[in-house]
Structure 1
Amino acid sequence: MKTKTKSNYSSNRGRPVAKSVDFSLLHWILILSASLYLFIFPFQTGLFNSLIYDFELPIYEAMLFVFIMLIVFAAYLFKQWQLETSRGLLALGSLLLPFVYWLSSFQAVASHNAKLMTLIYCLLAGFFMLGLYIASTFTTRQVLKYALLLSSYCVVLFGVLNLLGQRYFPDALWFSSGDYRLTSVFQYSNTYAGYLVALVLAALYCATHARRWYSAAFHGAMLVPIWLSLMLTYSRGALVLLPILILLVLPFMRLHKQVQFILAMAISGVSMLIILGKITQNYISIAERVQPRANGGVANTIPFWESPALESWIWLVAASLLTALVVYGLHRSSGWVHDKLAKIAEKRFSVFAVPVLLAVLGIVFVFVLLSGFANTFLPEAIANRLENINFQQHSVLERATFYVDAMKVVADYPLLGAGGGGWTALYEQYQNNPYISRQAHSYLVQSLVEVGWIGFVVLIGLIGFVYYWYIRHYFKDREDEKDHLVFFIFSAAILVHSLIDFDMSYVYVSSVVFLSLGVLGGIYPKEIKIPKLSWNQLRIIRYIYPSVLAVLAIILAVVAYREYNAQRYFKHAVYLATSEQRPLNELLAPLDEALALSPDHPAYNLLKADWYRQAYLQTQDTTYVEENKKRLTELKHSEPYERQLILAQYRNFKVLGEYNLALEVLEEGIRKFQWDINFYEAAIMEYALTGQNLQDSDEAQTKLYWDRAMALLDEIGDKQQQLEELPEEQLQGREFAPTPYIRLAIGQIQFEQANYAATVEMIQPIQEWLMQFDAQQLQQDAFLRTGIRSYALALEAIGQPDKALKDYLTQAVPEEQGRLLEQLEQFN
C-alpha cells in the first residue's frame, strides 16, 4: 500500500523536484521500529555507557536493532534522499559526528572505548537521519510523539511502582547521603531528574495544546506522578534549571496558551505538594521493608492493597484525577481565555509578558526558599536540600574541578582529543584531588576531551544549526498548534541539563535527543541551490548516499554482532568460573572465542591473564607467566591507561623475578594515577624490600632505592598539604595519607639506617592497628612481622621497651623470639 501526501516544499528552479512524501510500507516499518525502540530500551538501565564491560551487552543489542533499521532506512532513501534539500544536506552532515570519533580513535588513549564510542555515534547519527525523514507528516509525527511520551510515562510509572514497593529494580531507589532517591530505570537520580524536567514540560505542553479533551485530561493526569518523581529524585540541579527551561519554552506559545500552561503547572504542582509529605513518609517506611540494605540483603515487594502502599496510591490517584479534571476545564475554556486576551495578544511583545512575570515570581520564590520557608510545606529532607542550594556547595565545587581538570587534558590533546572514553582513561593523571568520577559531568566538556576542538565544532555546529533552522522557521509558521514543539522541548531540556551532568552517557537518552533533533531539522525542508551541478548529475548523486549508507549499516551491524557475541562468550566464561568452578581448559574455550571476536578488549585479556597467573601459582609452570608477559605487553599498546593492566604487569614481573621492571611499572602507575595511594604503597614497599635484599651486595643501589622510597613519602606529604587548600565545602574524595604498610616500609628503612627515634615516630601511630592480627595472619605476612620486630627493637634502642608488643609477636610466631634476641645482642 502506498499513498501520497503533500510535502512542505516544492521547486522554484523550473525542473523536477519531489512534491510528495513516500508514505509507504517502509515508512511505517521505520516509524514502528523507532517507536518499539523507545519502549524497549529505557528498561535496559537506559543503556548506560559507563565505559566498563558490565554495561556493554544491552548497548550492543540496541546497536543491532538500530543498524538493521538503518539498512531498511537506506532502501527507503533511494526514493527520498536529495542532495539539494536541507534534509539531504543535514543527513550528509550528520555523518561527520561518527567520522570525527573514528578519526580521534587513531590517537585514542583507550582503544576499545574509542571503538565503542564511534559505534555509539553511528547509532546516534542514524537516529538523527531517521528523525529527518520518518516524521515528515503530521500523522507520523503524532505516532512518534506519542511513542516518546507513552514510553516516558511507562518509565515514570515503573519508578512509582518501585517507590511504593510493588516492584523491585536494583537502585531504582538509590540510597545516597542518608536518603532514598528515586532513579527509576536509570539507577542515577540526577539523570532521571533531567529526563523528568523534559517530560513535565512536554506533558504540560500536550495537556494545554491537545485537540481532544480526553487527550488533555490524560496528559494532565500524568503531571502529578511526574512532579512527585522529580521531587523525590532530590536533584537540586534539575530544580534550579527548571525555571530557566520554562522561560525558554514559553515564548514558543501564544499568550492564551502560556496562561493555560502556567495554570496547569501551578495546579499540578500544588496537587503534588499536598500529597508529597504523606507519600514521602510512606515510601521511606516501604523502603525499610523492601530494599535489600534495610532488609538483610534481600529484596522484597509488597502488594498495592497493603498499607501504607494502598494509602499512597489513593492519594496519588486522587491528586492525578483532580489535576486531570482541572486540565479538562482549561481545555474547555481555551476559547474564552483566547478571547479575553485577544487585545493584549495583539501587542508586539505580548508573548514575553508571561515569561517576564514568571521570572519575577521565580526570583521572589527563590528568596522565600532561602529564607527557610520551605520547611513549612516540604518534607524536611527535600527542604534542606533546596535551602542548601548555593555556589559553594560541594557538588558545584566538584564539577568546577572536573571542568578545570578536563581543560588540562584538552591542552594536551587539542585538535582531535583523546578519543572516546578519554576522560575515563585520563582524569586521574590530571585531577586536582583524589575524586572518583568516570564521567566529566558535562556533555560538552566530555565531548571536548574525547574529540578535541575539531570534533567539538562539528558537534556544536550541527546542534546549533538545527536549532537555528527550526526556530527561524517556527516563528514564520502561522500554524496555531505545532505538534513538533514536543521534540524541541525534549531535546533542549535534556541538552541544557546535560551541561552539568552526564545524561548523554545514557545511550537511550542521547538517542531521544538526536531523534528529536532530526525531527526538528526535517520539519521545514527547503530546497538548496547547488549551481555547479546539473539535474542529471544530481540524479546520479542521489543514489550514492543511500548506497554508501546501506554498506555502512551492514558493516556496522556485523561489527556490533561480533562484539555482542564476544560479550556473551565472556559472560558464559565468567559464569562457568564463578558458578560451576570448571577446570581451566573448559573456562578458556568460551573466553578464547570472545578474544577471537574482540582481540583488544581489555576485560577479556585481563581475565585470561588472571587465570594464567592463578594457574602458575598452582602448577609453578612458567609458560603461563611468559605467555602473560607477551599478552600484557601487546595490550599495553592499545590500553596504556588501564589501571588493571598496570597492576597485572606488576604482579607478573614479580612472579618472573624481574623486580626492576616491576618497579618501573609501579612508577608508571604513580605518574598516571597520581592520587592512588595504593600505587604509592606498593612502590614504597617494593623499594624497601628490594633495598634490604641488596643491602649486603650493593650498598649504592640500596641507597638509591631507599632514597626513592623516602622521596615518595615526601610527595605524599606535599599532596596532603595541597588537599588542605581545598575549600571547606568541597569533598576531598578518596583517602590520601600514608597507609599502615607505607609506615611499616618507611619504618623498616629508618631502622636499617639506625634512625631508631624516626622509626618509632613513623610506626607508633599505627600501633593499635599492628596489634589486631591473629597468629595465622602474622605467620603468613613476613612483611608485617618484620615491621613489628623493627618497631619493637627501635623502642628498645631508645629506652622505651614494650613487653606487650614483643609477647604479641613471639606468641603468634615463636621463632621471632630468637630473631629478637639476636638483634638485641647487636645493640649491646
Structure 2
Amino acid sequence: MIARLYFVWKVDQISAIYSVGILLIPLIYWISTFQAASYHNAVLMVLVTSLLACLFIMGLYLGTTPRSLDVLQTILLLSGYAVILYGTGVVLGLAYTKDAIWFTSGTYRLTSVFQYSNTYAGFLLAFLMGAMFTTVNAKRTWIALMNAAMLTPIWMSLMLTYSRGALIFIPLLVLVILFFLRLDRQIAFVIAFIGSALVTVFTLSPITERYIQIAQIVMPKRDGEPANLLSIQNSLVWQTALILLIGSLVTTLLIWGIRTRYSWLEKKLSALSGRKFASFIVPVGLGGAGILGLLLLLGTGIASSILPSSIAERLQNINFQQHSVLERKTFYVDALKLTSDYPLFGSGGGGWSALYEKYQNNPYVSRQTHSFFAQTLVEIGWVGFSILLLILCVIFFQYLKQYWRERQQQPSHFIFFILAFTLLAHSLIDFDMSYVYIAGLVFFSLGVLVAVYDKKISLTLLKSKVASRWRFLYHGALAVVTLVLIVQAYQEYVGSQYFKSAINKAINEKPPLDELLVTLDQAISYSPKHPAYLVTKIDWLGQAYHQTGDRSYALQAKELIEQIKSTEPYDRQIILSEYRNHKDLGEYNESIEALEEGISKFQWDIKFYEAAIMEYAVNGNSVKDTDPAKAQTYWNRGMELYEEVLHRKQLLMLLPEEQLQGRDFDVTPFIRQAVGQILFGQGRYEDAVSMLKPMVENDLSDVYNRIGVRYYLAALYMLGQSDADLLNRLVEAGPNEKMYLDSLLQ
C-alpha cells in the first residue's frame, strides 16, 4: 500500500488529511500504553488499531474510480454472504464449529462463526440493509436477483439469533436509509422489505421447529466431543433446506416483479419527486405505520399466533426493565467511573477487562463494556475518544452532504455508508467492534466513503503552503512504523506457537520440568511481558516446589512475579500466585498484603474475602499467647472484612428485581468457619455458636467443615453446654478430632 501511496498520495487532496489523521488513533493507543492497566493488552490494541488504520487507508486509495468501487462492493458483499451461508449450514446441521449455536435460557441461539449471537445479529443487520439496497438499486437485474436470493437466509438467521436489540434497530435503520433514497426507490425498498419479512414470517415456524431438532442432534453433549453433523439426505435437513429455498425463490420473484415496474413507477412519481418534501413522505408514513404495527404485534398477542413461541416470547419481553438493558446501563455507569480516574488518555487497550472489577456496581462478569464507544472511552480517554468521534462525524457529514446532491442518480457506493453506519449503530449497545473482522469492515468502508468524493474537495491553499518534501517524510515514517509493527506482530506470533507447543508437551508428553521450561522460556523470550506465559511458568515452578521441597523453585517464581506485576498489576492470577508464593516462602505478612491488594482490586470476589478472613483468623490464633495485642489486631481486621461482606450483601438487595446479580456473593461456609474461630478467640462464645451452627449439618468428611464443628462444640462447652451426638459424628469422621477439641479447650 505504501508503494501505491508513493504514486497517488497528493497533499492538495482531502484524502491526504485523512491518511494522516487516522494514524492518530493508533498513536493515542500507543501513548496510553505508558499508563496501561494491562501493558500486554495495550500493545495488542496498538497492533489492532494500526491494522484498522491500514484498512482505512486502503479503502481511501482503492475506492477512487467507479470500476474499483464496484469491485470493492462485490468483495464486501461476497465475504459477508460467505459467513451467512456458513451460518445457514449450521442451521441445517451440515456445518458446526465450537459455539456456533448457543443453548441459553431454553433457546438455541445461532452465532455462526462469531460465537456470540448478538454480534452475529448486528452483522446480519448490516448485510440485510446492504442486500436490500442492492436489490432495488443495482443497474443489472441479475445482480439484484442474486442479492434478493440472500434476503430470506439473512432474515431467517437474524430471527434465530433471538437478538431483541437488533430487531429494535431495524425500523430505525430503515428510516435513516429511506431518507437518502429517491421516491421511487423508497417505495421499492419498502415493498421489498415488507415482502421479504412476510415470507420469513410464513416460513419461520416450520424452519424453527426443525432447526431446534437439528441443534439437539448436532451440538456436542460435552466439551471436547465432536459435533454430530447430518447428511443432506437426512429428512430434517432437506425439508428445512427446501422450505428455505422456496422462501428465497418467492422473495426473488417479488423483487423481479418490483423491478419490472420501475419505469412505470418512476413516471407516475416524476411530478412528486421534484418536491422538497418528497423524501419525507415515505419515511414519515412508514415510521407511523411501524410504531402502530409494533404496538399491535407486541401488545395484542398477534406475535404469539404468527411466530414460533420461543421467538414470540423474546419479542414480547422487549422493555427497558429487562435484565440485559439494566446490565448494560450498569456497565456504562461503571465505565464512566473508571474513566474519571484515567480521563485524558485512558487506561490503555484492554483497560476495561483489567479494571472493571475494581469499579463494578455488583459482581457481574463481563470482559466487554457492550458498547464500542464506552470501551473506546475507557481505553484512550476523552482525548482519544474525541478524536475518533470527530473523524466519524466529519466523514459521515461530508459524505452525506455530497451524496445528497446526486441522490437522484442513486450511486451504488451508498452501500458502504449502510455497512459502516449499521455496524457502528449496533455497536452502541454491543461489542461488535471487538471483532477485528467487523471493525475492519467498518474502517475500510469509512475509507471508501472519503475516497468517493475526494477529488471534489480541493486543498490548493495547502499545496502552496506545504513543501513537497513532506510527502517523502510521510511515506518514510509510514514505512518505518509498518516494519516495526510487523516485527512486533511476528514476535507475538512466534511466542504463541512456542507457548502452544509447551502446553501440548505438558499435557500429552509429560517430559521433565527442565525440558518443558526450555520451550516455555522461548515463548517468554519472544513476548517477555505476556502474562499467560509467565503465570504458567510461575505455576509450574510452584508445583515443582511442592513436589521437591526445593526452595530455589519458589524463589525463581518470586522473581517472575515481581517482573510481571510491574506491567500487569490488575491480573487476578498474578495476585493469587503472589499470595501462594509468599505462603510457600513462609512470608505470612506479605501473603496477607497480597490478599488485601486483591480485595481492593476485586471488591466483589468472595474468594479473596474467604482467604483473607481465614488468614487473619489463623494468624491471630498463632500469636494469641505470645502477642495478644497483635492477635486482636488480626482478628479485628478479619471482622471488618466480614462486616464488609454483609454490607455488600445489603447493597445487592438494592438492585432492580429484573437485574441479575452476577456471581455469588454471600457468607460462605469457609468465611463462617473463619469468623467462628475469631469470635471464639475473642471470647464471644454465644456469637461463635450462632455463627457456626449452620455448619452442623454439613458433610463432616470435609476437613474445613470439621474445623467449624470443632469450634462450635468448644464454644458450647465454654457456655456450659454440649452436644454428644454431634461429638460422636465428629469423632467418627476424624479419629483425631477428640484430641484437637481437647487441645482447643485447654
Pairwise same-fold verdict (TM > 0.5): yes
Say if 2:204 is the partner of 1:276: yes
In 2, distance between residues paired with 1:663 and 1:823? Answer: 24
Say if 2:723 is the partner of 1:794: no
Selected match of 1:168 from 85, 96, 119: 96
Selected match of 2:498 from 547, 565, 569: 569
With the length of structure 1 as denominator, give the TM-score of the two structures. Answer: 0.88
What does residue 540 of structure 1 align with?
A: 469
State the Cα distance separating 1:531 from its structure 2 match: 3.6
State the Cα distance separating 1:752 from its structure 2 match: 2.4
Deviation track 1:307-364 (CA, whole Å, cap 9, x = no partner) reads: 2121111100111011111111112221111112212212211111111011001110
Say if 2:148 is the partner of 1:220: yes
SS in 1 for 2:108: strand
Q: Contact 1:75 / 1:550 at 8 angstroms: preserved in 2?
A: no
State the Cα distance separating 1:550 from its structure 2 match: 1.8
Selected match of 1:678 from 583, 595, 607: 607
State the Cα distance separating 1:786 from its structure 2 match: 2.5
Q: Contact 2:11 / 2:462 at 8 angstroms: preserved in 1?
A: no
SS in 2 for 1:438: coil
**In structure 2, do the counterparts of structure 1 residues 295 and 686 end up closer, same or farther at CA, with 3 Å as the change threshold?**
closer
What does residue 726 of structure 2 align with?
A: 805
The one-letter amino acid paired with 1:511 is G
Deviation track 1:637-664 (CA, whole Å, cap 9, x = no partner) reads: 1111111110000000000000101101
**In structure 2, do the counterparts of structure 1 residues 479 and 359 end up closer, same or farther at CA, with 3 Å as the change threshold?**
closer
Q: Contact 2:92 / 2:240 at 8 angstroms: preserved in 1?
A: yes
**In structure 2, do the counterparts of structure 1 residues 478 and 823 end up closer, same or farther at CA, with 3 Å as the change threshold?**
closer
State the Cα distance separating 1:481 from its structure 2 match: 3.1
Selected match of 2:275 from 347, 351, 371: 347
Say if 2:515 is the partner of 1:586: yes
What does residue 285 of structure 2 align with?
A: 357
Q: What pairs with 1:361-380 in structure 2 (closer than 5 Å)? A: 361-371=289-299, 372-380=301-309
Say if 2:214 is the partner of 1:286: yes
Q: Contact 1:287 / 1:294 at 8 angstroms: preserved in 2?
A: no
In 2, distance between residues paired with 1:326 and 1:271? Answer: 10
In 1, distance between residues paired with 2:22 and 2:193? Answer: 36
Q: Contact 1:74 / 1:547 at 8 angstroms: preserved in 2?
A: no
What does residue 322 of structure 2 align with?
A: 393
State the Cα distance separating 1:821 from its structure 2 match: 4.6
State the Cα distance separating 1:478 from its structure 2 match: 5.6
The one-letter amino acid paired with 1:567 is S
Say if 2:61 is the partner of 1:136: no
The one-letter amino acid paired with 1:806 is L
What does residue 178 of structure 2 align with?
A: 250
Q: What pairs with 1:117-132 in structure 2 (closer than 5 Å)? A: 117-132=45-60
Q: What pairs with 1:180-329 in structure 2 (closer than 5 Å)? A: 180-293=108-221, 298-329=226-257
Selected match of 2:549 from 609, 613, 620: 620
What does residue 427 of structure 2 align with?
A: 498
In 2, distance between residues paired with 1:191 and 1:222? Answer: 19
In 2, distance between residues paired with 1:768 and 1:580? Answer: 44
In 2, distance between residues paired with 1:378 and 1:764? Answer: 53
SS in 2 for 1:175: strand
What does residue 417 of structure 1 align with?
A: 346
State the Cα distance separating 1:819 from its structure 2 match: 3.1
The one-letter amino acid paired with 1:792 is L
State the Cα distance separating 1:294 from its structure 2 match: 7.9
In 1, distance between residues paired with 2:692 and 2:85? Answer: 57
The one-letter amino acid paired with 1:720 is K
Deviation track 1:439-490 (CA, whole Å, cap 9, x = no partner) reads: 0111111101111110011100111111111011111226613111111000
In 2, distance between residues paired with 1:679 and 1:163? Answer: 43
State the Cα distance separating 1:553 from its structure 2 match: 1.4
What does residue 331 of structure 2 align with?
A: 402
The one-letter amino acid paired with 1:649 is E
In 2, distance between residues paired with 1:744 and 1:416? Answer: 45
State the Cα distance separating 1:296 from its structure 2 match: 10
The one-letter amino acid paired with 1:628 is A
**In structure 2, do the counterparts of structure 1 residues 177 and 532 end up closer, same or farther at CA, with 3 Å as the change threshold?**
closer
State the Cα distance separating 1:754 from its structure 2 match: 3.0
Say if 2:3 is the partner of 1:75: yes
The one-letter amino acid paired with 1:198 is A
**How many pairs does the alignment contain?**
744
The one-letter amino acid paired with 1:587 is L
What does residue 731 of structure 1 align with?
A: 660
The one-letter amino acid paired with 2:269 is L
**In structure 2, do the counterparts of structure 1 residues 218 and 529 end up closer, same or farther at CA, with 3 Å as the change threshold?**
closer
Deviation track 1:408-428 (CA, whole Å, cap 9, x = no partner) reads: 111111111111111111111
In 2, distance between residues paired with 1:147 and 1:492? Answer: 18
Q: Contact 1:770 / 1:788 at 8 angstroms: preserved in 2?
A: no
Structure 1 stretch 312-321 or stretch 622-631: which is displaced more?
622-631
Q: Contact 1:785 / 1:809 at 8 angstroms: preserved in 2?
A: yes
SS in 2 for 1:130: helix
Q: Contact 2:520 / 2:533 at 8 angstroms: preserved in 1?
A: yes
In 1, distance between residues paired with 2:336 and 2:718? Answer: 53
Selected match of 1:818 from 733, 739, 743: 739
SS in 1 for 2:698: helix
Q: Contact 1:115 / 1:420 at 8 angstroms: preserved in 2?
A: yes
State the Cα distance separating 1:370 from its structure 2 match: 2.6
In 2, distance between residues paired with 1:585 and 1:106? Answer: 35
SS in 1 for 2:411: coil
State the Cα distance separating 1:267 from its structure 2 match: 1.2
State the Cα distance separating 1:533 from its structure 2 match: 5.5
Say if 2:439 is the partner of 1:510: yes
SS in 2 for 1:184: coil
- Percent identity reads 47
Deviation track 1:772-802 (CA, whole Å, cap 9, x = no partner) reads: x3xxx53xxxx54332211233344446643
SS in 2 for 1:475: helix
SS in 1 for 2:109: strand
State the Cα distance separating 1:614 from its structure 2 match: 0.6
Gaps of 5+ in 2: none
In 1, distance between residues paired with 2:558 and 2:85? Answer: 52
SS in 1 for 2:150: helix
The one-letter amino acid paired with 1:278 is P
In 2, distance between residues paired with 1:100 and 1:796? Answer: 66
Structure 1 stretch 804-813 or stretch 106-115: which is displaced more?
804-813
In 1, distance between residues paired with 2:484 and 2:632? Answer: 59
Note the aligned Cα RMSD (angstroms): 1.6
Q: Contact 2:335 / 2:352 at 8 angstroms: preserved in 1?
A: yes
Say if 2:630 is the partner of 1:701: yes
Say if 2:394 is the partner of 1:431: no
What does residue 93 of structure 1 align with?
A: 21
Selected match of 2:690 from 756, 761, 773: 761
The one-letter amino acid paired with 1:400 is K
Say if 2:534 is the partner of 1:605: yes
What does residue 484 of structure 1 align with?
A: 413
Gaps of 5+ in 1: 1-72
The one-letter amino acid paired with 1:765 is P
In 2, distance between residues paired with 1:214 and 1:531? Answer: 46
State the Cα distance separating 1:542 from its structure 2 match: 2.2
**In structure 2, do the counterparts of structure 1 residues 463 and 254 end up closer, same or farther at CA, with 3 Å as the change threshold?**
same
